[in-house]
Chain A
Amino acid sequence: MTLQQVIFIILAIAVIGSALFVVTTSNLFRGALMLIVAFFGVAGFYVLLDNGLFAVAQVMIYIGAISILIIFSVMLTRGMQAMIPRNAQAGSVAIAAALLFLILLLAFGPFRLVVDLSGVPILSALFRTESARVLGGVPWQFANREVPETYIADFGRALVDLNQFLLPFLLVAFLVDAVLAGAIYIARQRKPAEVIAEREAIAKEEAEELAALQPQPTAPTLPQGAIASTADH
């Protein structure tokens, strides 16, 4: 057993164990902390995969930003730590999740190492994977194992290269714009008084417009009840 194999197994146990804790614990705060452990473990896998850039990005984005946001919201929405962690369908969901895992396991075909299934017609069809790997019609290059030293520069250029990933890059830029505007709109607290004042201003203007359109003695105005009913939150 190589050192890397040992590290892999330790990381795998840490990631899967903490992930299991995250989805089963009734204490959300501890769950959020274990989520950080899981994210760290995944960053460890990226190091094993010779990609320091993404290991750092994982730590900065998932732990530095996403986990912190999640911990903040756990603390901001206090009072649910005591709640029952699972809903009524948890049992059947667990079976479904386990089934999905088993199906994926079959798709990856690792059992060939242990059991020779080539005699079983249906299962052997499932295991015809490795030889068929293609890259744009060319078989996947298992031989070329070295990560180029310029991989970070190549990656950076690919993102802004018209012939590679410029369009998706543009797309996520607009996505982030939409998220900024949307999240601020949703999270901003509006005072009831502000809502009422705003609605009265608009109603007044509406009334003026209507009065200008059809000179009636009583221009319709907003009933008081409607204002109270929407502003009471």
Chain B
Amino acid sequence: MGLQNAINGIPLEWYLIVAAALFSIGLYGVLARKNAVAMLMGVELMLNSVNLNLLAFWRYLAPESAAGLAFAAFVFVVAAAETAVGLALIIAVYRSLKSVDPETLTQLKL
């Protein structure tokens, strides 16, 4: 099949691969980090990878339809919403504990 579905010489798969790498890195960030802010950064990377996928699908497969764009826009909103609530919670816990490491949360076992 080669590069016949490429736009400007870039096949769709390149975007999908970068997005998959970004998602896997974000996943590692959420699961391997000890700090809640760092875990949140991992989540943001995962959501960015989703948007990169959606935009690539829109451009390559259905540029005339607004569906991919609308989907991506909703992911933007959800990402911002999650960040706002998450950081509020992180700061609240930090105020009570002076630490935001989920493993040293004393009251509950992980």
Contacts and interface: CB of A to CB of B under 8 A. Distances in A.
Do A and B have CB atoms closer than 8 angstroms in the complex?
A: yes
Interface of A: 1-2, 4-5, 8, 12, 15-16, 19-20, 22-23, 28, 31-32, 35, 38-39, 42, 45-46, 48-51, 53-54, 57-58, 61-62, 65-66, 69-70, 72-74, 76-77, 79-80, 83-87, 89-90, 93-94, 96-98, 100-101, 104-105, 108-110, 112-113, 130, 133, 135, 140-142, 144-148, 151, 154-155, 157-159, 164-165, 168, 172, 175-176, 179, 182-184, 186-187, 189, 233
A66 B90 CA distance: 14
Given A22-B29, A22-B38, A85-B34, 9 more contacts: A5-B8, A20-B25, A45-B15, A53-B69, A69-B83, A158-B66, A158-B69, A165-B66, A186-B92
Given A1-B9, A70-B83, A31 B38 contact: yes
- The main secondary structure of chain B at its interface with chain A is helix
B18 A16 contact: yes
- The main secondary structure of chain A at its interface with chain B is helix
B13 A108 contact: yes
Interface of B: 1-2, 5, 7-11, 13-18, 20-29, 31-35, 37-38, 40-42, 44-45, 48, 51-52, 55-56, 58-64, 66-67, 69-70, 72-74, 76-81, 83-85, 87-92, 94-96, 98-101, 103
A100 B17 CA distance: 12
Contacts of A112: 1
Contacts of A108: 13, 16-17, 20
A4 B79 contact: no
A73 B62 contact: no
B98 to A, nearest CB: 7
B67 A76 contact: no
A54 B55 contact: yes
Given A45-B15, A100-B24, A151-B63, A145 B7 contact: yes
